[in-house]
A and B are shown apart, each in its own frame.
Chain A
Amino acid sequence: AQKITQTQPGMFVQEKEAVTLDCTYDTSDPSYGLFWYKQPSSGEMIFPIYQGSYDQQNATEGRYSLNFQKARKSANLVISASQLGDSAMYFCAMRESVIIQGAQKLVFGQGTRLTINP
């Protein structure tokens, strides 16, 4: 079963506008972590933001914020005041882990290609 769903293959946004990238997930585990990764054309995966399932506040890192709606199982990434350098592939990922001795693998979505237009 698909664990992470990203429904937007591509997004085009004007520079300085805000953009929301959608992510929904499926898990029966009460304890999990949600990640968003940025992958520019160089190929490196860059980690901008993380949300734990028990975190009370939505995660925020600079211009990145995560709109975490636990009941809906969604974890959308919001980028405010977009910049040309934000153009990249963005992947939503989930890790299920309640076991102290070992951590589970990250499961990635299909990704959204974000293009910021000048």
Chain B
Amino acid sequence: GAGVSQTPSNKVTEKGKYVELRCDPISGHTALYWYRQSLGQGPEFLIYFQGTGAADDSGLPNDRFFAVRPEGSVSTLKIQRTERGDSAVYLCASSLLRSSGGLLTGELFFGEGSRLTVL
């Protein structure tokens, strides 16, 4: 597809359940990011992949959160034993990083997000 695709667009689950959120980035984009956006807040960084490896997972709130990108394209964010506080919109973004004058540049293209509601 032309843009970043995220599924499901909406997910309602019960406390304690396991959830998977999927992100299909723009074809050819090497970098992939997950963000979480709570109501009325700016997006908060969770994890960033460069290729298949997690280059920075410092934003994952705890060990209930895990993300994979096994083939360097599609990524899955996994949340175990969901809690009500996990309710948020989970945004995925991808970018094609390029070096320019020693700096990495490349804007992030975001998907429309997956809205997770934990009851």
Contact = CB atoms under 8 A, between A and B. Distances in A.
B91 A103 contact: no
A104 B102 contact: no
Given A43-B89, A43-B113, A45-B91, A104 B56 contact: yes
Overall SS of chain A's interface: loop
Task: Give the interface residue-count category, chain A.
Answer: 20 to 34
Given A52-B105, A106-B45, A108-B43, A44 B112 contact: yes
Contacts of A103: 31, 48, 50, 55, 95, 97, 104, 106
B62 interface: no
Given A54-B103, A103-B104, A108-B35, 19 more contacts: A35-B108, A37-B110, A42-B112, A43-B112, A43-B113, A46-B110, A100-B99, A100-B102, A102-B56, A102-B104, A103-B31, A103-B50, A103-B55, A103-B97, A105-B56, A106-B45, A108-B43, A109-B42, A110-B42
Contacts of A1: none
Interface of A: 4, 31, 33, 35, 37, 42-47, 50, 52, 54, 91, 93, 97-100, 102-111
Nearest to B93: A45
Task: Give the interface residue-count category, chain B.
Answer: 20 to 34
B44 interface: yes
B21 to A, nearest CB: 14
Nearest to B48: A105
Interface of B: 31, 33, 35, 41-45, 48, 50, 55-56, 58-59, 89, 91, 93, 95, 97, 99, 101-113, 115
B58 to A, nearest CB: 8
B40 to A, nearest CB: 8
Nearest to B42: A108
Nearest to B114: A43
13 contacts: A31-B102, A31-B103, A33-B103, A42-B112, A43-B113, A46-B110, A52-B103, A54-B103, A93-B42, A97-B103, A103-B106, A107-B45, A111-B41
B59 A99 contact: no
A111 B44 CA distance: 12
Given A47-B109, A102-B55, A103-B97, A97 B104 contact: yes
Most B C-beta atoms less than 10 A away, residue of A44, A45, A46, A99: A45
